[in-house]
Each structure stands twice: as structure tokens, then as C-alpha cells.
Structure 1
Amino acid sequence: MTYLIIDALDECITDRPKLLHFIATQSSTSHRVKWIASSRNWPELEKRLEAAGHKIRPSLDFNAESVSTAVKIFIKRKVSQLVEQEKYDERTRDAMLEYLTANADNTFLWVSLACQNLKGTAKRNVVKKLKSIPPGLDPLYQRMMHRISESDDAEICRCVLASAAVLYRPVAIPELVAIVEQLKDFANDLESVREIIGLCGSFLTLREDTVYFVHQSAKDFLFAKAYGEAFPDGTEAVHRMIFSRSRATLSRTLCRDIYSLEAPGYPIENVKPPEPDPLAVSRYPCVYWIDHLYKSKPKSSENSVDNLQVPDVVDEFLRKKYLYWLEGLSLCKSVEKSVVSMTKLWSLVQEMGSQDQLTQLIQDARRFFMYHKGAIESYPLQTYASALLFSPTGSLIRHLFQHEEPQEITIRPAMSDGWSACLQTLESHSSSVRSVALSHDST
């Protein structure tokens, strides 16, 4: 027998419908495989799992006694850990057990956060601090927001929280420093960054130096109950700041053959990041800078980033760093994701009514990317070899980066002036293709 356990389906953000469909269809294929999934009881989730056969749906609401027993065991364990770490006496231990048991409301996360708040508290202050911890997650989050707002690091903590809330994935500490403007002075003092994240302890946690939200409810609270405090200028301003920092990071770090692979035929599956990794701070910006620009909602060419108009910023980046960015995407193994990103950039420029020159550049960059995607994805340095040599002579990208063409090749292929009708060559299928489906978002 095989048991597949998926916890907290409601916290899955990306492609949740696909995951639910997969569970529903696969759960009936074999009697030897059992699926166990937990979630908040959202109607949408229940509806999508209707197709699953042989369902049993126990509700924790009807098993409150079992949950209560489990939470009490959890409380005893957490209190025992605190007593051992802080050398509390029996009287303090009993007070902690009594308060936590009375106010936990059968919520493991509340117990965990409350005990985290007690760490480092002197024995004489434990009872007083316990009584200041309100029951319920939202009041506890609100208390933490108030505590952060009154600290000496209030503004930097707010910016870290706001940035973490809009990021598309958890980030490592060096990536966070590169993304958050207020952390730029701590690039060589990562211990201070860890302390700042610790100040956001009821919201953020560190696992192997990667920043996560402690729970989806913490992120939900920032958007639903503390929006004005976390995002005083709106989420668009946070996205704009992240885009600005991302562009600056990429402009500073991206270059040709950043991993010193040298051979144009070096396959991506053999690539190992060097130590130190020159892409360590650039991985997140490399994949998501367009997404943050798009979410910043620049409505017209008058919108500015770093006192420059958005079209000018994008134009300069594409003209100076486009090929190096494509190499970076290949090394980050994120070429597929950026097919959608380029479509977003194209639609954004259309909405802004930007000048024809930028529109033509993006259109050419998009065609270059789609046409040579297979080679760039598999062999990062083919960005400067086959991709340039087999592009039309009238390609703007080829003209801008002609200095990167391999000089040792003296006999060059005769190419047409413009792009052919071919958009992209699809590979990797092992037998004949009988049908093709094209998605609306160009992926």
C-alpha cells in the first residue's frame, strides 16, 4: 500500500485547479494507493474534488475532541521546551499551561506563535507577557503589527513584510537584500538582516536562510486586515520598488558567460553553479522583473522609475542586457516561464501607448526569443552563437548585439532580411504528433 498525503490544499496558490483535478482523477486509478488531503472547508475545493471516487470526508468540526487532545499535547511539548531553554520553575510552567490551554481555541499555529513570543522572557515577566497575548490569530497578528510599528526598525520591517507579501516565491536572504531598497546597506551584514526578519517573527520565518510566511493566514491578514499599515501607498508602489531594484541588480550583475562555461555546446544539465554563485542575487529578478513591472500598473509613458520614464528604462535594458538576460534565464532553468513574461511586456507596452521604436524592439526581441528558445534553453551560450547567426539580418536584436557573434566563424549562413512565419519549433516528443492545442496565453 502507498499513502500520498497533501497538507493544506487551500494554501496552494499556483495551479491549484490542476492539482485538484490531478488528485480527483488519480485517486480512483488504483486501490493500492490512498490519498489523504487536508484543507479549510472551502466550497470551491469540495466541488473540484467531487470527481474522486470512494471518498470519505471527516470534518475536524465533528472531531473537536480529538483536535483538542492533540492541541493539549502540543502545548505541553512547547511549554516543556521553553521551561528547559529558559530554566523556568514549576509555578511559571503551570501558569503557561493554564493560559495557553484556555486561549488556544484548538489552534496549533496560535500556540506556536504565542510560545515564540515568550522566548527570551525573564521568569518574572512571563505571566504578564502571557496575559498580553490575545486569543485568536487575527488579534495576535494585530498585536504584532502594533509592536513592529513602535520598534526602532518599524519602517524597514514594514517594507520587508510588504515585499515578502507580493513576491512570487520564497526568496533567499541575498535575494531579499537585492530586492528591498531599505536593506541595501546590509549587503555585507546578513546577520542584521536575519535579526530584522526575526522582528517580523509572527509573520515571517527563516528555513535554511530562505524567507517564508509562517502560514497563509499571516499573508492573508496583511492584505485583508492590515492593508493600510503594510501598504500605505498601495501594492503597486511595492511592485514598482521591486522592479526598480530588480532592474538595477540585473544591470549590475548580468554579463556574457557568467558561469565561465566557454563552450557554446555546454549542455544545461551539466551546469553547476560556481562558488560563490554570481547569480545568487539575480535569480529572482531574472525570472520576475517583468511581472513586477506589470503589477506596478504604469498607465502611461509618464510613469517613472528612478526618475526615468518606464519606456526609457525598458528600452535601455533590452538594448544593453537582453542577450545576457536570456543566458541568465537558461542558467536559472526558467526559459518557459519567460514566454509568458514577454507576452506581458508586449501587452503592457501596447496599453501604455509607447512609441513605435520600443514597440518594434519588443516585438523583435519576442520573435528572437521564441524562434531560438529551444537552443537557448538547452545550451545557454547558444544565445550568442546559433541564435545570433541564424537570425534575420534585419533583426534589431542581432544588430544591437552583433559584437557578440562568434568571430571564429568566417562562412556565415545567408539569412533573409525579416523573420519567417515560423514562431517556434516544438521538440521533445518521442513519436508522431497527431494533434496540437495552443493556449490563449502563448505558452
Structure 2
Amino acid sequence: MTSANFHGGNHGAQIGYNYGSVTAEFRAHNNEDIDRICLQKLRCPDSLAVKTHLKETKDRLRRESFEWVLQDPQYRSWRNGNDVCLLWIKGGAGKGKTMMSIGLIEALSQEQDKTAVVTYFFCQNANNELNTLESVIKGLILRLVSQRGELKESLRSRWDPKNDRFSKDVSSWRALWDILWEMLDRCDCLRVYVMVDALDECQDSGITDFLRLIIRNGLDQPTKIKWLLTSRPLEAAERTLLAGHEQMQVSLELNSDYISQSVQTYISYKVNELNLRNRYGEALGRKLKTELFAKAEGTFLWVSLVCKRLEDIRADKALATIQDLPPGLHLFYDRILNQLREGQPDDVHNYMRLLKAMMLVYRPLKIEEVPSVTGLSSGDDTIKLLVNHCASFVRIQGNNIEFVHQSARDYLAGENGLAILDSYGRFEHYNIVLGCLSHLSEQLKVNLLDLPRPDTTKEFAKSLISERHNILLSSLDYATTFWVQHLQKVPLRAIAQSRSIDEGPVGSFLQNKLLEWLECFSLLDRFPKAVDSIKALQDMAKASI
């Protein structure tokens, strides 16, 4: 089982949750079993897996890019002092905050002993399993209990083994906060470092209240519990944080000299790497480094995107390519999107369809899921070629397609990007619903994997599932799990006009494929999601009436 798979499922599921189905056979009353069931029921995102994934998707972590922070007076006061409970690292898009967070997490983890522990979370706007306060707190809880097993008592004490459920509410972020704070308070370490990266990507209306709780509770134990947050400039943080001497800020913009030095080091690394491939020679290599540094404006991401484009550019065209590209991420994205529009009409339509779909989906797509969501031609090679043409916005990592950076998604969601995408045909949530239902209707059947007995156990079933079956399940994953969530985004008036719930495409699907759909949930090890989906459909049906 790799870190990129869900615990409890092995069908190439997206990084995020760590859970498995809980059935009667696992019900037990000893502490070890109850602890395991509590975590399975809580469905915590695995921050360690996310950190590993981020390191794989970005360039090799270089200590020079964040080492200056270790010597920063504000950081040292937070790290070593007894009065500062919170440090906020603030900087614009592409300034290297996430890689800095990874570096600081690993630096603190290397230094820690039995007297300290590090827990952390990485918010990701494009993944709805990683962009809520509920997810943040669950992820912090999982990292804590994985290092300090005795803290599982805070979950166990809330579990009702007789009824196989939590005896107290754990569904809201505020209820989860009480559990987290109880764990932090009970932890017998002298220091607990709590780090949340990219807080601005958390799509939750409770951010301000969350920050107030951090400060209010943090003031009680500033020596023991140390919070570190990173984000782009965030209005809620500006209003709430830095109100007293117990909180400090490191602004990347105010440390532009350090950032410039780090970017210069990064440019040298990237050009030297490209030189092995494109054979620039010493003189051209120096010119490329100079031109990149002059236009980078202290932004790692700009350098990364430009160097990605240089991979397939001949050496004699490399300098002119850099000179032709504008500085700044927004202008860069403008140029690239307009260049995409210059292709063949059918190709351009496909580029725009893919990008618009990526903006609407609830998590990064696997390559084999793209046809069911977008309606584009199937075939892995076709999809890969399509993604490669849009490489400044999206990329393939492993088997997943994801945005190269949150700033790329933000640009496409902006006025200019959205106008260009929509000019090639509107593509909305309802289009995804229809595509998913069409794909499921075509593929689903009774006993989808041709298992020999209806009471086949999960363990025995796994031994029978072939590679072909795994590919089939993987292609059905997104459509099965998320079409109802897309339907929830469709205005009720549009649902009523299309008779979607009772007589339209949705009604037809439910009448003909309901049991097969539920079976697919079970095979994907996602049956709790099936319950949520059925309830959502019931609520929408009542509302439409």
C-alpha cells in the first residue's frame, strides 16, 4: 500500500482520507480495536501522505531556499521563547511558502526528541478533502495520535461501542477543535509545534473564529503549544492576528533580499539541470540565469513554469523564449492562455473543456476518469497529450491530473480567464452530472466484478480482482462518488425544469442502476459516501417540490 492510496482501498484513490469500512466483524471492546475504529469513522486526511506527495510534485527541496528563516529573529523567538504562541508567515503566490513549510516541518522533526512533537496540515483549495476546517483539525489529530498513542483516549472516551458510533458530536469543526485542544493539553511533551500551510486555501466561513480560538487558547500555554501558519495575505488573519506580543509575523515581501538570494540559487539549479538536457554551454547558461533572475520578481513559481517550457525548446531559441515571456504570474498566464487559443479549433475546444472541468471537480482527476467527467475522447495517451499542451496550468503527477499551483486555478477563475474559457462553450456542474451518469449507465452491471458468490468477503474479493477490474473501478471512482455533489451545485430551478430528480436523467439512472451504483460504492470501499449521497438526493427532491 503506497502513501498515495486510501487506507482500506487500493484502487488508485486520491491522496487524502485514511479510512476503511467498519463492519460488524470488526466491532470489539478492547482499546486497540476501538482506537482503530474511531480513526476509521473519523476519516482523517493523512498529512504525511500529502507532504510526501507535495515533495514529489515540486523540485527537490533545497535547504538554501528556507535556511534564512531559521535565523530570522521572529522565528527564533517563536521557536525558542516562552512568550510567543503563534508565528504567521505571509507571502504572495509562488513565493515558496509550501516548500518552506515542508523544510521547517522536517527541520523541527529532526531536532525533536521525546520532549517535543510536530503535527501539521497542508490546505489545498482544489481538493475538497483538504480545504475545510474540519479536514484541517482531523489531519492535525491524526498526526498527533500517530506519534503519541496515549492521546487516542480523547477519541476513545467519546465512543459508544454498544451502538458502534461516537457518543458525542464530532461532525463540526468546533466539536473537533475541543478534541484537538484536549489532546494538545494532555500531551506530556514540553513543546508541541502545530503547523498549518496555505490557510488561505481553506474554504470555510469559520476561519476568523478558528484564528481567535488559536490565540485565545494559545495564550494559556505559549511555552508549550506553538502554532505556525502560512498563507497569502489574508484579510481574516490581518484583522485577528498580531494583536499582541504573543503573535509574530514573517513577511516574505519584507524579506525580499533573502527571497531574491533563494530564487537566484533556485535559478542556478534549474538552468544547470536544463543544461544537461539541452547543452547550453557556459556562456548561454550565464545569459539564461541573468534573464530569468531579472524577470522572476522573486517568484519561484514563475521560474519553475518558464523552465518547464524550456525543456522542449532548442538551445538557440531559449534566450528569446525567456525574453518574450512577461514577468509576473498573471501576465504569464495571460500569455500562455492566449497561445493555447492559437491552435486548431477542435484542439482549442478540448484544452478549454479540460481546464474548465479541472476548475469544477472536487479533487484532482485520475487520467482514466477524465472522459467520464469531461466527455472528451478516451485513451490515456490522448489525455496525456492534452494535459501536456496545458502544462503551464495543469500537470500529471503519477496517475493524477492537478493544477500546477493554486495561482493557476485562481487566474482561470478570474474575469479574464473565465471569459476566455466560456467563449468556447459553457461547461458547468450539470454537464459533469450528465457525463458521469452516462458513463455509469454504460459501465455498471449486476455483480460488476463477476465475483463467484454474493457473500464474498472483502479479503477474498481482493484476491480475485484482476488488473482489468482495478482499471474499471478506477475509471468509475469519480463518477460514482461525486456526481451527486455536482448535482447539488445545479440551481433548483434548472433541476425542476429538467425533471432531473424524479423523471429526468437522474430519475432514469436511479430507477435502472441504483443497486449497481451502491454496489460500486461498496467495491470502492466508500459506502459511507453512498449514505451521504442518498440523503442529499432526498433533500434535493424535497426542495425541488
Decide which moves more: 193-202 or 42-51.
42-51
The answer on whether the counterparts of 1:10 and 1:40 sit within 8 Å (CA) in structure 2 is: no
The answer on whether the counterparts of 1:27 and 1:34 sit within 8 Å (CA) in structure 2 is: no
Q: What residue in structure 1 maps to residue 405 of structure 2?
A: 215
Using the TM superposition, give the Cα deviation of residue 326 of structure 1 relative to its aligned residue in structure 2, in angstroms.
0.6
The answer on whether the counterparts of 1:160 and 1:180 sit within 8 Å (CA) in structure 2 is: yes
Give the aligned residue type for 2:521.
Answer: L
The answer on whether the counterparts of 2:518 and 2:530 sit within 8 Å (CA) in structure 1 is: no
Q: What residue in structure 1 maps to residue 443 of structure 2?
A: 253
Q: What residue in structure 2 maps to residue 49 of structure 1?
A: 214
The answer on whether the counterparts of 2:296 and 2:303 sit within 8 Å (CA) in structure 1 is: yes
The answer on whether the counterparts of 1:9 and 1:37 sit within 8 Å (CA) in structure 2 is: no
SS of alignment partner, residue 467 of structure 2 = coil
Using the TM superposition, give the Cα deviation of residue 37 of structure 1 relative to its aligned residue in structure 2, in angstroms.
3.7
In the superposition, relative to structure 1, how do residues 18 and 351 fare at CA in structure 2: closer, same or farther (>3 Å)?
A: closer
The Cα offsets for residues 15-36 of structure 1, whole Å up to 9 and x where unpaired, read as 5312444647355533354334
Which residue among 462, 476, 483 is the counterpart of 1:289? 483
Using the TM superposition, give the Cα deviation of residue 275 of structure 1 relative to its aligned residue in structure 2, in angstroms.
1.3
Which residue among 224, 229, 232 is the counterpart of 2:420? 229
Using the TM superposition, give the Cα deviation of residue 201 of structure 1 relative to its aligned residue in structure 2, in angstroms.
0.6
Q: What residue in structure 2 maps to residue 83 of structure 1?
A: 275
2:308 matches 1:116: yes
Q: TM-score, normalised by structure 2?
A: 0.58
Q: What residue in structure 2 maps to residue 157 of structure 1?
A: 351
Q: Determine which structure has greater relative contact order: mean sequence separation of CA pairs < 8 Å that are 6+ residues apart, divided by chain length.
A: 2
SS of alignment partner, residue 134 of structure 1 = coil
Q: What residue in structure 1 maps to residue 528 of structure 2?
A: 336
Q: What residue in structure 2 maps to residue 39 of structure 1?
A: 198
Using the TM superposition, give the Cα deviation of residue 6 of structure 1 relative to its aligned residue in structure 2, in angstroms.
3.8
Using the TM superposition, give the Cα deviation of residue 179 of structure 1 relative to its aligned residue in structure 2, in angstroms.
1.9
Q: What residue in structure 1 maps to residue 77 of structure 2?
A: none
The Cα offsets for residues 62-95 of structure 1, whole Å up to 9 and x where unpaired, read as 5433333222211111111111111112232112
Q: What residue in structure 2 maps to residue 17 of structure 1?
A: 133
The answer on whether the counterparts of 1:303 and 1:310 sit within 8 Å (CA) in structure 2 is: no
SS of alignment partner, residue 229 of structure 1 = helix
The answer on whether the counterparts of 1:304 and 1:310 sit within 8 Å (CA) in structure 2 is: no
Which residue among 317, 320, 325 is the counterpart of 2:512? 320
Which residue among 199, 205, 209 is the counterpart of 2:395? 205
Which structure 2 residue ranges, 5 or more long, are not aligned?
A: 1-112, 141-179, 202-206, 229-247
Give the aligned residue type for 2:277.
Answer: Q
2:296 matches 1:104: yes
Q: What residue in structure 1 maps to residue 284 of structure 2?
A: 92
In the superposition, relative to structure 1, how do residues 335 and 232 fare at CA in structure 2: closer, same or farther (>3 Å)?
A: farther
Which structure 1 residue ranges, 5 or more long, are not aligned?
A: 354-443
SS of alignment partner, residue 168 of structure 1 = coil
In the superposition, relative to structure 1, how do residues 294 and 16 fare at CA in structure 2: closer, same or farther (>3 Å)?
A: closer
The Cα offsets for residues 188-245 of structure 1, whole Å up to 9 and x where unpaired, read as x42122111011111101011210111112112111241222234897x421221111
In the superposition, relative to structure 1, how do residues 118 and 46 fare at CA in structure 2: closer, same or farther (>3 Å)?
A: farther
Distance 2:486 2:479 in 1: 9
Q: What residue in structure 2 maps to residue 351 of structure 1?
A: 543
In the superposition, relative to structure 1, how do residues 257 and 121 fare at CA in structure 2: closer, same or farther (>3 Å)?
A: same
The answer on whether the counterparts of 2:271 and 2:288 sit within 8 Å (CA) in structure 1 is: yes
Distance 1:344 1:233 in 2: 32
- Cα-Cα RMSD: 2.9
Q: What residue in structure 2 maps to residue 371 of structure 1?
A: none
Using the TM superposition, give the Cα deviation of residue 125 of structure 1 relative to its aligned residue in structure 2, in angstroms.
1.7
In the superposition, relative to structure 1, how do residues 88 and 216 fare at CA in structure 2: closer, same or farther (>3 Å)?
A: same
In the superposition, relative to structure 1, how do residues 7 and 246 fare at CA in structure 2: closer, same or farther (>3 Å)?
A: closer
2:380 matches 1:190: yes
SS of alignment partner, residue 395 of structure 2 = strand
Give the aligned residue type for 1:255.
Answer: K
Which residue among 240, 243, 254 is the counterpart of 2:433? 243
SS of alignment partner, residue 202 of structure 1 = coil
The Cα offsets for residues 312-360 of structure 1, whole Å up to 9 and x where unpaired, read as 322221121111111001111222123332232223223333xxxxxxx
Figure out how many residues of one structure are paired with residues of the other and give that number: 346
Give the aligned residue type for 1:195.
Answer: L
Q: TM-score, normalised by structure 1?
A: 0.70
The answer on whether the counterparts of 1:3 and 1:35 sit within 8 Å (CA) in structure 2 is: yes
Decide which moves more: 170-179 or 54-63.
54-63
Give the aligned residue type for 1:154.
Answer: V
Which residue among 303, 328, 334 is the counterpart of 1:136? 328
Q: What residue in structure 2 maps to residue 424 of structure 1?
A: none
Give the aligned residue type for 2:369.
Answer: E
SS of alignment partner, residue 362 of structure 2 = coil
The Cα offsets for residues 358-379 of structure 1, whole Å up to 9 and x where unpaired, read as xxxxxxxxxxxxxxxxxxxxxx
Q: What residue in structure 1 maps to residue 260 of structure 2?
A: 68
The Cα offsets for residues 244-303 of structure 1, whole Å up to 9 and x where unpaired, read as 111111111111221233333323355424211232321111111112222232515664
Which of the pair has more CA radius of gyration? 1
